[in-house]
Structure 1
């Protein structure tokens, strides 16, 4: 796969569709690799007339791992001590813009899931001239009063990292059982297969800790989002236990030109059952940019 020099690091990426079509960049969430954007979903988006780009965030997958940085003290960061902050979400938004530079894309549609939604929100605040539209999925504004996780989902998020391939696969299944979409059919064996493939591609849990620290260290984006004038789609599952629906509702309320799409039966994942709704929404939002 190709690599892009961006913001002082390298990003692994791949593409789907016709490069002559408008660029649409997919940004994945905490600890997740770009392969969490299913190739079939990417193909559906490309079929709607987009040149689809997915990439590994810094500290995930095959992009640059920042292991030379000191280990962050997340509890201290949450308490206001920023001495161990490795980077923040605005740095990851700059990574996204650097990828656009590499692609030769003056402007692009951006779609982010979970932490990826936070990154595209920050990119819209910091670099509105580089975006055509944004879609924020199962994400939140950074306001701690909204989007709270259930105790069970919080426990899944804070679980110690796996030490072996078998543990990584079982951990993914446990997470899916807690935060996955209860209203859609899902195949546990497919969850296991995808988790095993992700482990084999790249397993770097220390990077996930640094990404989580970046979320904790980043400020509330509400005021910044209120100044964003781009067409926005906010998608959130009504059954999301990790980022509660109030996170999506607050995001949509902060954005002046937004559509809020609340999906019954959707948890904190992207099951195939919701792909048609998501693809139509992204296409509709992009058309508003035109």
Structure 2
């Protein structure tokens, strides 16, 4: 059947995390709390880093960028889901669906690449400590942070342009709580081969490649740490990497399961669970993982609070 003889749907129905009405109140309260914690935590990290000159270093520069991306990633999906539960309306227009998908891929790609950039930063800091400031110059930091924004914009726009040529003439129910690419492709009644090839290509570029680079960086980091003569030195080096390594496991473990595993082993429930991990749980945990084990951040936060208390009194 030719696309020109078909009428594409004008809106989609987001079925959400659960189709049972009695569970929606609990889900609303849970995700509202998680979103508030995510927003407050990530915005607080950005405020602390920008207000303390002692934190003007490449590591905290990338951390501030990661907090911004995490906040935007959660904001792109969670408020719409909460509004749908509150209003009992699960519909989303076709343009809004494409817009949400664009920003989901934009910030999702940024998140993965920034995690890889932070791994490289830790590699340079531990492998070449004497030349760290020279290697991680402001110019290189700007390129490492600004380059992914351009690449992410191009890839996300290509996704949307390829999707816009498809026709959706059958069911308009998306078994998800936001407009994700994979479940949306299943609803198309036109050929999606080009879209699927591009998805696999992008997954290899922005998921598999950074993940391999991270593994290589940490292999070199472990070798360098084991050569440190003192036990305290090794402990301190491991401590600086443990927070970042935790985020690598959380983020890449779920995204690889969604975009690189065979479709035969994926189900709607698994896709939604994985999506919750990297769009809600990971952005929420980032501030805690990076701040609770970081004495400089805690010291800067206390200084900021004392300054605000002193100024108000």
Please, what TM-score do these two structures have when normalized by structure 2?
A: 0.27
The structure, 1 or 2, with the larger RCO (C-alpha pairs under 8 Å, 6+ apart) is 2
- Which one has the largest radius of gyration? 2
Structure with greater helix percent: 2
